[in-house]
Structure 1
Amino acid sequence: MTDDAATTGLQAYVVGGAVRDALLGLPAGDRDWVVVGSTPEAMTQRGFMPVGGDFPVFLHPSTKEEYALARTERKTALGYQGFTFYTGEDVTLADDLKRRDLTVNAIAQAADGTLIDPLGGAADVAARVFRHVGNAFSEDPVRILRLARFAARFGDFTVAPETMALCRQMVEAGEADALVAERVWKEVARGLMAVAPSRMFDILAQCGALERIMPQLNATPRALAAVDTAARFDMTLPQRYALLCVESPERDALSQRMRVPQLCADYARLLPIMLDGLARRDDLDARLALIERADALRKPERFEALLAAAVLWDERVAVSAWSADAACVRGVDAGAVARGQAANPAGIKEAVRKARLAALAP
């Protein structure tokens, strides 16, 4: 079946982020399509491959873009999983747009370029305002996370007062308590990798969600400013997460609660240790202890990344000197030292330590 045959006569519209970003003059990304007046059987007959779980989504036979049948939703339980979906042929494009989160994400574009915008999303794009589509926003607590993430991505957008008020009502109703750790981390990670991560946590704090989903986080102004600086330097997710948690004594509990990747948890655990050790550069024993504790010998790349994060927190950190120290210690041949202690195996550890201290000494 040809690509033309797959889409000829199909009522398909580009929706969501691709339309929004085009209005903002941003580079084109992945396009999502909504299909009106079709059925799963008709889509498969056209050559589309079904991939949906809860509701029918299909991959185009050639472009592999996602095409979802227009649908309506009905909330059946607390949280973001308590929904039933209806995808009958009678569901209109307007019906589908009404169940979306924000007006700026509820704009469709026809094949001829015409915008279908029944909810005023284009005007809100122009005004740089995030506004919820309708009361259905309150049925899905993930939308609070998405709103906060969008605020981090689009730093010049504001949140409509009525939308912030609705988010507060949702939190007070316990909706945020139903969010599972994996979904929270997925959105938080995306927000941390945005251009202004601090805005995500500011929005979450304003509506009361932050203390519900990340109660162990002490999101101080200094920590949030450091994360924004890390974003400007295009630092990695583990570096940004470590800076976010640097003033949170319960960072280990936070990492466990959100089930963050082990690398992120390690960075968050090690950065405060690094900062404490880096401040004691005049103590030779402390210098070696930090290099060994931070595992700079086996994981030099991680050590360098932590140094880069540390200097954002404390500009006095002598990055080049510490890098040189780690290189000196790595240059010690521990195997050769051990062989020299063949007659006294119990003394190997101390002999290696003394050799490393000698390498560090001026």
Structure 2
Amino acid sequence: MPNFQTYLVGGAVRDRLLGLPVQDRDWVVVGASPQALLDAGYQPVGKDFPVFLHPGTHEEVALARTERKTAAGYHGFAFHTAPDVTLEQDLARRDLSINAMAEDAAGRVIDPHGGQRDLQDKVLRHVSPAFAEDPVRILRLARFAARFADFAVAPETGALMRAMVAAGEVDALVPERVWQELSRGLMENKPSRMLAVLREAGALQKLLPEVEALFGVPQPEAHHPEIDTGLHLLMVLDQCAASGAPLAVRYACLCHDLGKGTTPRDELPRHIAHEQRSEKLAARVSARWKVPTDCRELASLVAREHTHVHQSQGFGAEARLRLLERCDAWRRPERFAELLWACECDARGRLGLEDRPYPQRERLLADLAATQAVDLAAVSAAAIARGAKGPEIGRAVQRARLAALSATPVI
């Protein structure tokens, strides 16, 4: 029998104590060397520090370790694993008290940092001053704030994060890790909390200055009872979460109004041509954090077209056809549907208007369906039979689609 001990650690323990479904189980082995695990049939998979697959369950297990800061940023750590590294030492290097608990084979919880108390008090608290050594932890805490929206950040933890930002630690973050944490935070129950926590720490100004610039910027009260553009963005993101929107829609909503942060003061509270400015700023954010193509493209489309979608109830058939063309709706119908989803969240992310109808979405989807039903092959063949060539055939297709739109019942 192996003479080492295995413990369930981290989020699995936290979620079980909260009565939540346990999604992933992380394990730590204490009292073992890499060779001892190999001899016991474990398979090595780790590169940066020893991680193995359990021979029976194939779940990942890691050797208990300590870490030491060696340079700035996320990669600036040296790890130490040895049979004499204790469970308590391993837990001490973790980020938050609620993530620094373990459970032994008998179900006994090992909680050296008060994680159970903080769960009960609904507090996000750092384990030790070592929290300041890893800037990713600011993003992780903000993401947990979005997941556990009724948890407060401990005052001392908030102060520590502000000090980290002031010391320039956030400047060393790599794009891949920033996007990983931002995207996960956007998919949590209340993504507005992630932005609020980052803003309070001063990290939003560093990571997303285009978003920070929206706070305090007024909008016309007739359309935006909440007035403040930053508050509107927070409400839109929470509408995304409430509707179960996918990541691309949530990211597009994050970027849809960025241009309002650059509106000249003498033009406020109106935001003339903010759509074009928003599109450029969305592209800048996407490039900075190496955002995936689907999210990047939808963000650009929503930034450019969301106002037109809102106004489309007053459009005639020709204007609606041009909107479909600009959105490449026939080749990218799924993306067009996501555009309308984002626009609906935008329309409902307003104070007192959270439940108002948004008929534009249903109407434009009906328009798309009507134009998709046009027999393009037949229209093209008939045009060719009349002697049409090249652009003339395209115009015949356009006329057929326009006729289909004109015949679509008003919704």
Q: Please, what TM-score do these two structures have when normalized by structure 2?
A: 0.83
Q: Find the aligned partners of 1:273 and 1:351 in 2 and give their Cα distance.
A: 28
Asked if 1:236 corresponds to 2:251, the answer is: no
Equivalence for 1:335:
377
Tell me the secondary structure at the aligned position of residue 86 of structure 1: strand
Q: Find the aligned partners of 2:24 and 2:368 in 1 and give their Cα distance.
A: 44
Q: Find the aligned partners of 2:30 and 2:361 in 1 and give their Cα distance.
A: 58
Equivalence for 1:277:
308
The match for 1:355 among 392, 395, 400 is: 400
Native 8 Å contact 1:198 1:228 kept in 2: yes
Structure 2 unmatched runs, 5+: 215-229, 259-277, 348-356
The match for 1:246 among 256, 269, 277 is: 256
Equivalence for 2:275:
none
Q: How does 1:44-55 map to 2 (within 5 A)?
A: 44-55=38-49
1:68 positional shift: 0.9
1:351 positional shift: 2.0
The match for 1:262 among 290, 293, 297 is: 293
1:267 positional shift: 1.4
User: Relative to structure 2, which stretch is displaced further, 192-201 or 106-115?
Assistant: 106-115
Equivalence for 1:22:
16
Q: Find the aligned partners of 1:144 and 1:292 in 2 and give their Cα distance.
A: 42
1:170 positional shift: 0.6
1:10 positional shift: 2.5
Q: Find the aligned partners of 1:29 and 1:272 in 2 and give their Cα distance.
A: 35
1:42 maps to a residue whose letter is A
Q: Find the aligned partners of 1:200 and 1:259 in 2 and give their Cα distance.
A: 20
Equivalence for 1:187:
181
2:237 maps to a residue whose letter is V
Native 8 Å contact 2:74 2:134 kept in 1: yes
Q: Find the aligned partners of 1:118 and 1:355 in 2 and give their Cα distance.
A: 72
1:60 positional shift: 0.5
The match for 1:294 among 327, 341, 344 is: 327
1:316 positional shift: 4.2
Aligned residues: 356
Asked if 1:62 corresponds to 2:107, the answer is: no
Q: How does 1:150-169 map to 2 (within 5 A)?
A: 150-169=144-163
2:393 maps to a residue whose letter is I
Equivalence for 2:340:
307
1:92 positional shift: 1.1
User: Relative to structure 2, which stretch is displaced further, 264-273 or 308-317?
Assistant: 308-317
Deviations for 1:316-342, whole angstroms, at most 9, x for unmatched residues?
442222111111211223333333333
1:155 positional shift: 1.0
Q: Find the aligned partners of 1:282 and 1:120 in 2 and give their Cα distance.
A: 60
Tell me the secondary structure at the aligned position of residue 35 of structure 1: strand
Q: Find the aligned partners of 2:319 and 2:95 in 1 and give their Cα distance.
A: 53
Equivalence for 2:367:
325
Tell me the secondary structure at the aligned position of residue 217 of structure 1: helix
1:139 positional shift: 0.3
User: Relative to structure 2, which stretch is displaced further, 213-222 or 42-51?
Assistant: 213-222
Native 8 Å contact 1:216 1:253 kept in 2: no
Asked if 1:100 corresponds to 2:94, the answer is: yes
1:66 positional shift: 1.6
Q: Find the aligned partners of 1:20 and 1:263 in 2 and give their Cα distance.
A: 33
Native 8 Å contact 2:302 2:343 kept in 1: yes
Structure 1 unmatched runs, 5+: none
Tell me the secondary structure at the aligned position of residue 240 of structure 1: helix
Equivalence for 1:344:
388
Equivalence for 1:110:
104
Q: Find the aligned partners of 2:16 and 2:345 in 1 and give their Cα distance.
A: 35
Q: Find the aligned partners of 2:187 and 2:127 in 1 and give their Cα distance.
A: 26
Give the CA RMSD over aligned residues.
1.5
Deviations for 1:21-50, whole angstroms, at most 9, x for unmatched residues?
111111222211111111000001101111
